[in-house]
Amino acid sequence: MEESLLEVKHLKKIFHSGKESFTAVEDINFFLEQGECLGIVGESGSGKSTVAMMLTHLTEVTEGQIFLQGKDITHAKGKALRETYRELQMVFQTPAGSFDPRCTLGDGIGESLRNMGISKKETRNRVEKLLLTCGLTPEYADRYPHQVSGGECQRAAIARALAVEPKVLICDEATSALDVTVQKQIMELLMKLKKEKQLSFLFICHDLALVQLFCDRVIVMNDGHVEEEGTPEEIIENPKTEYTKRLIESVL
Ligand code: ADP
């Protein structure tokens, strides 16, 4: 059988503070294929962000494995981690968090390109193209994060994530902090990217309506474990558990 683009096996996260320990993620398994969009839904606190943070190495994996194109990246460091970030990028809920407030958006978007040894001029060219792809004019490269709106900053954050031409884009509540109209515009941008680029998405969202709009498959998380999985239609039309029913009723 061919390997999946991304696969997690028996992923587990225990947070420790002092003598206390808390299991935030317990034995999660899923895969993501090329060009596919997998949604992760669940109540606040169910462990969705912790999964995303383990995938992007923002928090250490306690147990289990993460495979990217068949390669075990669970504990990747140094060069291996840099290579991982070329394939796997993330967009966060608060767009300003993706940028250094003292640097222009252009510097932020181009940072990884410069780190890859690409010239200043070529980086600027690519940054301008990325801005256009994300619905912003090239002059936004010279603005600072505080000089743009939340929606514009999220567009720039998506441009930044796309700069390395990743295979997987993890969106963690990427539209949740935005008002409804702007949320719709960002969703349109993500749908355009899904259609035009060979991108796979891990789309973390508490809003099942957005997941239905965007995702091919969805997993429902409850209290750190996978409650059920299926297509959005299967989940919404025929929820198997009371938890999923409540989740659907609360957002649809
Ligand atoms: P979600 O994204 O579904 O809202 P999270 O993954 O953010 O859920 O959190 C899952 C659980 O793990 C929550 O109970 C949260 O309080 C806990 N948690 C998250 N980060 C930490 C941390 N750094 N230390 C201790 N507990 C944490």
3-state secondary structure string, the chain?
A: CCCCCEEEEEEEEEEEECCEEEEEEEEEEEEECCCCEEEEEECCCCCHHHHHHHHCCCCCCCEEEEEECCEECCCCCHHHHHHHHHHEEEECCCHHHHCCCCCCHHHHHHHHHHHCCCCHHHHHHHHHHHHHHCCCCHHHHHCCHHHCCHHHHHHHHHHHHHCCCCCEEEEECCCCCCCHHHHHHHHHHHHHHHHHCCCEEEEECCCHHHHHHHCCEEEEEECCEEEEEECHHHHHHCCCCHHHHHHHHHHC
- 14 within 8 A of 62, measured Cβ to Cβ: yes
Structure tokens at 37: 């969009």
Other Cβ atoms closer than 10 A to 4: 18
Q: Model confidence at 252, in pLDDT bands (50, 70, 90)?
A: low
Region 55-60: what's the mean pLDDT? 96
Region 32-53: what's the mean pLDDT? 96
Residues of the chain with pLDDT > 70, as a percent, come to 99
* pLDDT exceeds cutoff 90 at 198: no
Domains identified in the chain and CATH numbers: 6-251 (3.40.50.300)
181 contacts: CB under 8 Å, gap ≥ 6 = none
Structure tokens at 9: 């096996």
Region 243-251: what's the mean pLDDT? 89
Between CA 181 and CA 169 the distance in angstroms is 23
Ligand 1 pocket member 108 (CB < 6 A): no
pLDDT at position 1: 57
CA 173 to ligand 1: nearest atom: 2
Ligand 1 pocket member 97 (CB < 6 A): no
* pLDDT exceeds cutoff 80 at 179: yes
Ligand 1 pocket member 22 (CB < 6 A): yes
**181 CA distance to ligand 1 middle (Å):** 29
Cα distances (angstroms) measured from residue 127 to each of 5, 45, 61, 132? 27, 36, 33, 9
Ligand 1 pocket member 42 (CB < 6 A): yes
Between CA 49 and CA 60 the distance in angstroms is 13
| Reported pTM | 0.94
Region 220-230: what's the mean pLDDT? 96
CA 47 to ligand 1: nearest atom: 6
**90 CA distance to ligand 1 middle (Å):** 18
pLDDT per residue as tens digits for the range 89-130: 999 999 888 899 999 999 999 999 999 999 999 999 999 999
pLDDT at position 250: 84
pLDDT at position 228: 96
